[in-house]
Amino acid sequence: MTHEVLNQSPPLTGTSAWRADPLLVQLAESYSEPIRRELDQLGRYVRSGEAQELARLANVETPKLRTHDRQGRRIDLVEYHPAYHALMRRSVSVGLHSSVWENNANESGKRHQVRAARFFMTAQLECGHLCPITMTSASLAALMGNPKLFREWAPRVTTRKYDQSQKPPVEKVGLTLGMGMTEKQGGTDVRANTTRAERAGSGFYRLTGHKWFMSAPMSDAFLMLAQANEGVSCFLVPRILGDGTENGLRFQRLKDKLGNRSNASSEVEFAGTIGEMVGEPGAGVKTIMDMVTLTRLDCAVANAGIMRAGLAEAVHHTRHRNAFGKPLFDQPLMQRVLADMALDVAGATALALRLARSFDEAANNPGEAAFARSMTPVVKYWVCKIAPALLYEAMECLGGNGYVEEAPLARYYREAPVNAIWEGAGNVMALDVLRVLRRAPQLFEDVLEGIGRDLGPAGKGTTGVLRAALQVASSDEGSARILTEQLAISAAAAELRRLGAGQIADAFVESRLAGQWRATYGMLDARHDARAILDTLYPELN
């Protein structure tokens, strides 16, 4: 032996993603005791060595497309590693795909918040398998546009049983749903889609066309947009028909993506494929928007979770890695960098869970309804935008140890951009904010009133700036990103203040609302106790 392995940080396993996150624990204080126990159990699973290995394998042993069997018959199957199925089985068993549609007394009035807490921790483990989980949950919102289909499909979706078998939906014990919107020529502009839908009688349609980006292609059915005589309409398209025959979905290839490797994303063509209309004819985009709103919430929650996982790795490493005679964590500059990052993670976490709360309370509270409608694109924009840069900085804290694929940070870094791109990239989110501003400006007045109230003495100045930004954006479309970011940072600061986050809220407010524009982390000054911020948000567990 030439040397011992020294000065390397141990794996971040054997602890709990729940107990190690005081902010999440505080956000869940009002949850029932059974739910908090379940979250603790999930947190231990997320940090277990077994689960971490499943996450690694699911992203190394990536899905494979088999278009034909050995005799030359079309089969159009995607094969996944058992690790992927294990992750899916666990997430389905805790109801990530269905809990907001269930009547669970333990989650009364907090279904979206409880699910967001589960989703936040699961995202720290592995995000690729969460794509079909998100689509399944959100698709039920669109299916409510066809009560008959909702009655047929919802009971088999909400069984909390994962069934990977290739059978007709009626023969399975559990179902997952996907969606196919994007086409080569359309992208975000789904009204440019060319897929055609022709009446086939008895309420059915035959679809002919293609989808350029259809993820989770082994889902049991897909929500698709197609051009009917009345205009763009939404359809539910099973993959396997009731008699066991294929429904004509011909998968051309799987996308070779930067990240999100465990989740297959496909190109598909089809002719004469059977579907049933969801919602009103010609109202496909309107029908799909309830689903899109839910997926945007998940994008924000997932990226907040990925950031939490990445920074936890960085803090853990620096506590165990010595350089120049003492742990990296004790080096003043490293502390400033980590604490500055911790403020953004705290703000993103609080803001994402704040959005989930507005979903729960919207039906009975006009102010919360205003927050849900106007702030969903705001929250999705900011949380997803800051994640790649933060995760790169976390990776740099580990140096070469972070840059190699064996470290989870490489996977987190590759994963982060998909949530910014999926369901509307940055410009789409900012333009959606302007759309709300033009159609219902009063919604922002309600939001600003809440921000001002929660910020306390600093609220008046902040809301004044926001009103000025709203005024500018009403006539200057190019300023939409400025408005969106200002709204997001202000709302995050307000939520940290409402939670009583003390010095963490103070540092966030002073450095984000009152500070100069910054391009990198590590800009906190000595007024803020960097070590106290880190020890509060990232306690060292035994």
If we measure between CA atoms, which residue out of 6, 5, 11 comes closest to residue 317?
A: 11
User: Lowest mean pLDDT: which of 355-364, 492-501, 516-525?
Assistant: 516-525
Q: From CA 354, how far away is CA 123, in angstroms rounded?
A: 18
pLDDT on residue 266: 98
- Could you report the per-residue pLDDT of 63-85, keeping only the tens digit for each? 999 999 999 999 999 999 999 99
- Which phi and psi (to 5°) does residue 223 adopt? -85, 125
Distances (CA, A) of 429 to 1, 116, 436, 461: 57, 21, 11, 25
CA atoms within 13 A on the CB side of 24: 28
Asked if residue 339 lies in contact with residue 448, where contact means CB atoms within 8 angstroms, the answer is no
Distance between CA atoms of residues 273 and 374, nearest Å: 37
Cβ-in-10-Å burial (0-12, 13-18, 19+) of 516 comes to: exposed
Neighbour-count burial for 138-167, b at 16+ CB within 10 Å, e otherwise: bbbbbbbbbeebbeebbebbbebebbeeee
Could you read off the pLDDT of 364-412 as tens digits, one per residue?
A: 999 999 999 999 999 999 999 999 999 999 999 999 999 999 899 999 9
With cut-offs at 50, 70 and 90, classify the pLDDT of residue 170.
very high
Q: How many CB atoms lie within 10 A of CB 366?
A: 11
Q: How confident is the model at residue 189 (pLDDT cuts 50, 70, 90)?
A: confident
pTM: 0.97
Helix spans in 261-331 (H): 284-320
On the question of pLDDT at 536 being above 80, the answer is yes
Cβ neighbours of residue 169 under 8 Å, at least 6 residues apart?
A: 153, 156, 175, 220, 221, 238, 240, 242
**Which residues, in sequence order, are CB contacts of 443 under 8 Å at separation 6+?**
370, 373, 374, 436
The C-alpha angle with vertex 302 and arms to 299 and 304, in degrees rounded to 5, equals: 110
- Residue 138 contacts residue 302 (beta carbons within 8 Å): no
Residue 187 pLDDT exceeds 90: no
For residue 226, give the DSSP letter: E
Task: Convert the pLDDT of each residue in 3-15 to its tens digit.
Answer: 899 999 999 999 9
What 3-state class would DSSP assign to 271?
A: strand
**Residue 515 in this model has a pLDDT that exceeds 80:** no
Helix ranges, 10-129 (H): 22-27, 33-46, 49-60, 82-93, 111-125
